Amino acid sequence: MNKSQSGTERRQSTTRNNIIQTEISSDMLVDCIKARKSELEQVLIEIENSLRDAPQGTIRIVSTGNSLQYYHRIDHSDTEGVYLKRTQDSFAAALAQKDYDYKLSVELRSEIKALDRFLFEYQPERVDEIFKSLHAGRKKLIRPARLTDEDYVKRWESVVYEKKTFEEDSPDYFTSKSERVRSKSEILIADALSRHNIPYRYEYPILIPGFGTVHPDFMCLNGRTRKEYVWEHNGMMSDSKYADNAINRIEKYAMAGYCPRDNLILTFESNSRPLSSRMIECNINSYLL
């Protein structure tokens, strides 16, 4: 392979990676556009209500030295208008606001129409459909721009890693998938993830600067958005030493970019308040589906 071909492949690889990154954030893009459209529609409703109550006519503004004079034009054929006294400044403001609101309403309708057209035509899944529609023999010869969700999940789950070892006297806790975990609460979490077909890695090692390698209870994947989440269960919060360590660990997670309500899921329990199955389901629905 010559240098030119190598450069071409590198450029293709970069382009393909860009496609993948764009697809990962497509749901966020759609949500932002829907929010923008909703905001514009609300503003448009307020403007239309204001225009219905606005005074008739338009305003003509004349600059005379350091002062301004306002004239009320009843119709377009009235080129001069009726002079407005200073006591009528609020009326002049209402006329100026009317003119602004009308122009703004035209622009808002145009943007809302453009956003509607985008939401109707934007179908990023078509990228996947091109590859899915190919014959199996042809697929083997092609490097797709984006892995299908199914293939992406399979590749994510196939990662080989070294788990933490168990002490000899550690109790035996096994999930419904016969995977050994360290507590009954972790069984609840793991089995809930399995019921919802959420891919996860148990005690997958990650490096936290200033803290070293840690093994969070679960590294989870949202197969729809392809976003990873650390799920850390803090199961002995009644123990003050354990609680201090948990707080320290959470702070280190945050400094490494793992933050609650973003990519860090935290659950807690104490002697008097065991882990709730409803809380597990709430986190799964909020982040992983």
- For 265-274, letters b (16+ CB in 10 Å) and e give bbbbbeeeee
Please tell me the predicted confidence (pLDDT) of residue 19. Answer: 47
Residues of the chain with pLDDT under 50: 1-24
The CATH number assigned to the domain holding 251 equals: 3.40.1350
Of 117, 146, 175, which residue is a domain's last? 146
Q: Tell me: do 61 and 91 sit in the same domain.
A: yes
d(CA 34, CA 274): 39
Q: Tell me: do 140 and 159 sit in the same domain.
A: no
Please tell me the predicted confidence (pLDDT) of residue 9. Answer: 42
Please tell me the predicted confidence (pLDDT) of residue 145. Answer: 81
Please tell me the predicted confidence (pLDDT) of residue 148. Answer: 80
Q: Tell me: do 6 and 130 sit in the same domain.
A: yes
Please tell me the predicted confidence (pLDDT) of residue 25. Answer: 62
Please tell me the predicted confidence (pLDDT) of residue 49. Answer: 95
| Per-residue model confidence as pLDDT tens digits over 137-186 | 998 898 888 778 888 899 999 999 998 999 999 999 999 999 999 999 99
CA–CA distance from 18 to each of 21, 109, 205 (Å)?
A: 5, 33, 27
Please tell me the predicted confidence (pLDDT) of residue 163. Answer: 87
Residue 242 sits in which domain range?
Answer: 155-288
DSSP letter string, 137-178 = HHHTT---SS--HHHHHHHHHT---PPPPPPTT---EE-TTS
Please tell me the predicted confidence (pLDDT) of residue 115. Answer: 97
**E strand or H helix at 289, and its extent?**
none
Nearest to 186 by CA among 224, 218, 155, 149: 218
